[in-house]
Amino acid sequence: MAGKISEGSGDLDENSEINVTPFIDVMLVLLIIFMVAAPLATVDMKVDLPQSGARPAPRDDKPVFITLKSDLTLAIGNEETAREAFSAELDRITGANKDTRVLLRADRLVDYGELMAVMNLIQRAGYSKIALVGLEAAPAR
């Protein structure tokens, strides 16, 4: 219980207001403790993962390559194709078989957004089996 001194009278009146200063002090201390302890709770472990011994997937007899060049032109196989005629040309080459796996390769300088636009173009044509092509690099040792 706290008392407050009023001017002009000699007696102490009761103060029913809550003093929040100790509460704020305790909360700030707890906040600092959790801010320091939270990063220590995360685990950052370096793991040297083993190499895969799985055999590569068998290649198709006649793979369908779609190439996105650095100047953003599209080619199906070795023939350049306009984006407007892309779906029809892809259907012609695959025989309209929508289960055909399409191999997509893009120049290193192509923006990720452009690559996604071509993937969306392939999906809108009805082909859902899209594989990205890259160069195999020697494993780092």
pLDDT of the residue at 133: 79
Number of domains in the chain: 1
CB proximity list for 10: less than 8 A, separation 6 or greater: none
Residue 82 lies in a domain: yes
Closest CA to 73 of 86, 64, 63, 89: 86
Grouped pLDDT means (10 residues each) for the chain, 141 residues: 57 77 91 85 52 64 84 87 90 88 86 91 90 67 55
d(CA 136, CA 141): 15
Are 65 and 133 within 8 A, CB to CB?
A: yes
Element (H, E) at 88: helix 86-94
Residue 128 lies in a domain: yes
Q: Which residues pair with 79 in a beta bridge?
A: 76
CATH of the domain at 71: 3.30.420.270
Question: Which domain range does residue 105 map to?
Answer: 64-133
pLDDT of the residue at 132: 82
pLDDT of the residue at 96: 86
Residue 54 lies in a domain: no
pLDDT of the residue at 12: 73
CA-CA distances (angstroms) from residue 125 to 32, 78, 129, 135?
56, 19, 11, 27
